[in-house]
Amino acid sequence: MKKIFIIAIVIRLICLYLFRNVANYDLESYLQVGQLTLSGFNIYPKIASLHHPYFPFFLYIEALAVYIGNPIIVIKSILTIFDLGILYLVYLLSNKNLKNALIYAINPVTILVTTLHGQFDVIPVFFILLSIYLFNKKNQLAGLLSFSFAILTKTWPVLFLIPFVRKVKNKKLLFIIIIMPVFVLIIYLALFKSNAIDIIKTIASYHGLWGIWGLWSLWGGWRLRWQILSTIMFLSSYFLYSYFNTEKNLAKNILLLLFFFFIFTTNFSIQYLTWIVPFLILSKPIKYLHLIVLISFYLFSFYYFWLFCLSCKSTPGWLIKIQNITGLLLWLSFIKKGYLSSKKSY
């Protein structure tokens, strides 16, 4: 395992160096939010609605990175540590399977999203996997606290609330899930004289881009009413499916939910693909490696613009065609894998 860890660290350090000057909207947002937070400015709701639609947690990391200097490298380095933490949890959750660990160590998906894009989805993924590990060890209290941390960093782990709640024998412990978001919220309100309603509204309004992925990309249009209606329809059907999904293994249960999410979601952002990688490796549905490769190609079709076309004023037509074709193939693969996985074809 030490050799695999060394391989993982070297790959990520090389990528951190190669991508050190890559700029994008999200990285610029980290810098802006960090500077404002460090100066004592309350970013909710105006700044946060565009640059930080989450609980007030990661903004402290952004502020710390600005204070230390070279903030983008500092932030990406912190994210890399969590990514390596996921690697170790994949190793533990797969009964110390070295092959599984190696696959995660060299997978391009989380490496690109973390060291190039700079998205921090690896943090909630880490805490979700840690929750599963703790639940498997019969430590439900610590597992719920870890799940609470996951929700604190980004709100999407709420999608996996039902399978975790089912695992809790003493339902009185469920209040732990809200402890970290509430605790950090109170601290921010006290420090920055903010309004809790503004923060909650900002978080509740967060979503990916509507109509750019899967079934909904075929519908077209950006009418606000249809966007809201379709999102409500999706979330209702998703939680209904989650309720009837009785798979007892938490990792497999979450993988099934992720297949449902990617097949039917109305809102999408490419960093969401980070979520599924460790669960594919842990559950090993049929030809799961093919799916990881396809996800990698899809990501690279978007990141190509940042890496090799900085002087381009818009995305070249040929690249858009590749993105559309690869995206369609990926969506169809999710449909196939989701169907087979629901039939217990692991």
Per-residue pLDDT band at 195 (split at 50, 70, 90) = confident
pLDDT exceeds cutoff 70 at 265 = yes
Tens digits of residue pLDDT in 164-184: 999 998 889 999 999 999 999
Q: Between β-strands 209-210 and 267-268, what pairing exists: parallel, antiparallel or unpaired?
A: antiparallel
Q: How many domains does the chain have?
A: 1
Residue 106: is its pLDDT beyond 60?
yes
For 30, the domain range is 2-342
| pLDDT tens-digit series, residues 11-25 | 999 999 999 888 888
Residues 43, 195 contacting (CB under 8 angstroms): no
Calculate mean pLDDT across residues 64-79.
94
Sequence-ordered alpha helix ranges (H) in 94-217 = 98-106, 108-111, 122-136, 140-153, 161-167, 179-192, 196-204, 214-217
Considering the chain, what is the average pLDDT of its residues? 91
Q: Are 143 and 131 in contact (CB under 8 A)?
A: yes
Look at residue 303 and tell me whether its pLDDT is greater than 60.
yes
Instruction: Look at the block and give the residue holding tokens 């309350």.
Output: 42
Stated as kind and residue range, the H or E segment containing 267 is strand 267-268
d(CA 35, CA 55): 17
Percent of the chain whose pLDDT exceeds 90: 73
Before 56, cis peptide (omega within 30)? no
pLDDT at 346: 47
Q: What is the pTM of this model?
A: 0.94
**Nearest in space to 47 (alpha carbons), one of 35, 61, 60:** 35
Distances (CA, A) of 117 to 73, 127, 227, 241: 12, 21, 27, 32
| CB neighbour class for 203 (10 Å; exposed up to 12, middle 13-18, buried from 19) | buried
Say how far apart CA 16 and CA 8 lie, in whole Å.
12
DSSP 188-239: HHHHH---HHHHHHHHHT---EETSSHHHHTT----HHHHHHHHHHHHHHHH
